[in-house]
Amino acid sequence: MPQPSTDPPPKYGFKDTTFIALGGEPGVRALVDTFYNHMQSNPDFDTIWSWHNSDPATMRDKLTLFLCYWSGGGRHIAEKLPPISIPAVHSHLRVTSAERDQWLACMKLALLDNGHQQALIDYLMQQFFIPAERIRISCESNGS
Ligand code: HEM
């Protein structure tokens, strides 16, 4: 008969642990604000910043809501979020590994600026790589 696991639950990526570690919705909003502030002001991110042309508040709201949901923020967040496919909403862009890495470097700066623990940053950078790489593969395969 299988025995219940005695392993401690993982620190992040289990239920809402990542969302809570990020500081809930206010923490995610602060992260997204820092992320776009860096993207706008740091010349290293000029290419990807030049692709952003929505109203700044809407752009920040969309990423905040998505990251709240993605980090385990729960049903009430999911209800506010129209279903989206992350590769599909980026399919009009020319994302190569250079632009993927700009996005990831910008997010890492934002996580550091928001004073998050190194273990959370390491975990999130591994997790962000997955959709970022999917975006690159889908953009390069559809020739955009
Ligand atoms: C791989 C590098 C990436 C680039 C270059 C990129 C760039 C962009 C751009 C240009 C937009 C449109 C902004 C506007 O409306 O003006 C956008 C939207 C968005 N991105 Fe990314 N992005 C990347 C990765 C990611 C990742 C990894 C995520 C999620 C973890 C993400 C989540 C979103 C969301 C939720 C939106 C809003 C989509 C909507 O309009 O509903 N992006 N991104």
CATH number for 113: 1.10.490.10
83-116 pLDDT, tens per residue?
Answer: 899 999 999 999 999 999 999 999 999 999 999 9
Specify the pLDDT at position 29.
Answer: 97
Specify the pLDDT at position 7.
Answer: 72
Contacts with 68 (C-beta within 8 Å, 6 or more apart), sequence order: 19, 25, 28, 77
119-134 pLDDT, tens per residue?
Answer: 999 999 999 999 999 9
Query: For residue 59, which of 88, 37, 36, 89 has the smallest C-alpha distance?
Result: 36
37-74 pLDDT, tens per residue?
Answer: 999 999 999 999 999 999 999 999 999 999 999 999 98
Q: Is residue 112 part of a domain?
A: yes
85 Cα: distance to centroid of ligand 1 (angstroms): 11
Q: Is residue 12 part of a domain?
A: no
Q: Is residue 76 part of a domain?
A: yes
Number of Cβ within a 10 Å radius of residue 37: 15
Q: Which residue's alpha carbon is at the smallest distance from atom 40 of ligand 1?
A: 89
Can you give the pTM of this predicted structure? 0.94
**Residue whose CB lies within 8 A of the most ligand 1 atoms, among 28, 89, 101, for a mutation test:** 89
Scanning the structure block, which residue is given the tokens 């209800």? 79
1 Cα: distance to centroid of ligand 1 (angstroms): 47
39 in contact with ligand 1, CB cutoff 6 A: no
Q: Is residue 1 part of a domain?
A: no
90 in Cβ contact with 137 (< 8 Å): no
